[in-house]
């Protein structure tokens, strides 16, 4: 059974940093592109970042470009999101999501980890 488990969220001051992790099990991580999607409290879904099979191709939403870095360690079956220069508007539940093999839809999602940016 596919499982994605995020960790690393918490309360951070504006300008601070945080690294999220997403542990994958039940499938071969290296066989899928992976994404981060966030959801501000009471709001909709917003795509954040994408990484290809081996980490050689990265893509970011304009809102996080230059501040966030996506990476993966296939040997550890883990996806990461390094976040720096955090702002209040980055407050959200961050989900890691697996991309389906036949299109950029997300066929499995983790439960999410809450990041709160506040002074």
Partner 1 sequence: DIVMTQSPDSLAVSLGERATINCKSSQSALYSPNNNNSLGWYQQKPGQPPKLLIKWASTRESGVPDRFSGSGSGTDFTLTISSLQAEDVAVYYCQQYFTTPLTFGGGTKVEIK
Q: Which of residues 78-117 bind partner 1 (CB under 8 A)?
A: 95, 100, 102-112
Least distance (Å) from partner 1 to the CB of residue 68? 13
Least distance (Å) from partner 1 to the CB of residue 59? 6
Nearest Cα to Cα of residue 112 among 59, 68, 57, 46: 46
Give the residue with the Cβ less far from partner 1, 6 or 29: 6
Torsion sign, CA atoms 118, 93, 85, 72: positive
* Owner of token pair 């795509």: 47
Least distance (Å) from partner 1 to the CB of residue 47? 4
Q: Report the distance separating Cα 63 and Cα 28, nearest Å.
A: 30
Q: Report the distance separating Cα 100 and Cα 25, nearest Å.
A: 16
Give the residue with the Cβ less far from partner 1, 97 or 117: 97
Q: Residue 106: how many CA atoms within 13 Å on its side-chain side?
A: 19
Q: Is the Cβ–Cβ distance between 32 and 42 less than 8 Å?
A: no
Least distance (Å) from partner 1 to the CB of residue 119? 27
Q: Which of residues 18-77 bind partner 1 (CB under 8 A)?
A: 35, 44-47, 50, 59, 61-62
Give the residue with the Cβ less far from partner 1, 16 or 33: 33
* Binding residues vs partner 1 (CB under 8 A): 35, 44-47, 50, 59, 61-62, 95, 100, 102-112
């Amino acid at each position: 059974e596919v499982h994605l488990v995020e960790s690393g969220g918490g309360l951070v001051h504006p300008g601070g940093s945080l690294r999220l992790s997403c542990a994958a099990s039940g499938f071969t991580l290296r066989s899928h592109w992976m994404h981060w999607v966030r959801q501000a409290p009471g709001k909709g879904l917003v795509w954040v970042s994408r990484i290809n099979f081996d980490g050689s191709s990265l893509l970011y939403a304009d809102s996080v470009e230059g501040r966030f870095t996506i990476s993966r360690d296939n040997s550890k079956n883990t996806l990461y999101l390094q976040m720096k220069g955090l702002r209040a508007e980055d407050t959200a539940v961050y989900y890691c999501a697996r991309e389906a093999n036949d299109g950029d839809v997300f066929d499995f999602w983790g439960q999410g980890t809450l990041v709160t940016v506040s002074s």
